[in-house]
Every structure is written in structure tokens, then in C-alpha cells.
Amino acid sequence: MKKIILTLLILFPFALVAQTETDPVVIDTAAINKIAKEKIDTIYAKLMRGEDFAKLANLYSEDPGSNKTGGGYTDFIEASNLLPEFWNNTRNLKKGETSKPFKTQYGWHVSQLIEVHGTEVKFRHIMISTQNQ
């Protein structure tokens, strides 16, 4: 039991964890969501002050698929391969413009449009996870 709690606290040191002798570990997902939202709002404020998107993605993004590449993907992505929230929050941006924070099933995000061609988009994003890992 101690090993499970320690693992959870390492992965989510901010999580509110409660447990009794007979009950399983309970994680306060509302607290995790609130903290993730506060983090993405802080990052968004830095972006609005002119800080570099790629640098902030490298520092803060919790998306393992893009956090080491400045939050970007090298190829265009077809809209049908994106979560609807990404397409809806990115397609109408101007080139280089950053979205307001938005939520998906994986966490909180901000995205920056690189280019759009029809139903394909190239973008960067920063994600703060709300998932129990």
C-alpha cells in the first residue's frame, strides 16, 4: 500500500490523496483539473506577454509526442485524425496566433497555428495533463 501511495505522490505531488485501511486510494480529480487549469492559464499569460511558444512547450508541455519539438508536429494532420477540440480551436486562428486554453479528455491545452490547408492543419500545442498516469 505504501508503494502505491508513494508512486501516486511522485506522479501527482499536487493530488489530494485519501485512503483508509480497507478502501482503495482515491484521487481528487477535481483538484487535479483545477491545478492543470491554473498551470495552463499561467502558460497562456506568458504567451500573451510575448514569450516563445516553442520554449514554453519544451519546458512545460506534458505531451510526450511533441514536448521535445517545441510542441510542434512536422507534418500536416488531417482534421479527421484530430480530437474535435483541436480542430475547432485551431482552424480559425491566424498564422502564428495562439488559442485560448481549451480542455480535452487528456488535459488542458493551448495551440498555435502554423498553417492550414483545407482540412489539414499544422500546429504546435502545450498540454497539461489531467490523466492519472
Length in residues, the chain: 133
Q: Do 107 and 129 touch, CB atoms closer than 8 A?
A: yes
pTM to 2 decimal places: 0.77
Of the candidates 54, 61, 59, 55, which has an alpha carbon nearest to the alpha carbon of residue 101? 61
CATH of domain 2-129: 3.10.50.40
The predicted-structure confidence for 4-62, as pLDDT tens digits, reads as follows: 443 444 444 444 555 555 666 667 888 899 999 999 999 999 999 999 999 999 999 99
Helices (H) and strands (E) in the chain, counts: 4, 6
DSSP H or E run through 113: strand 107-117
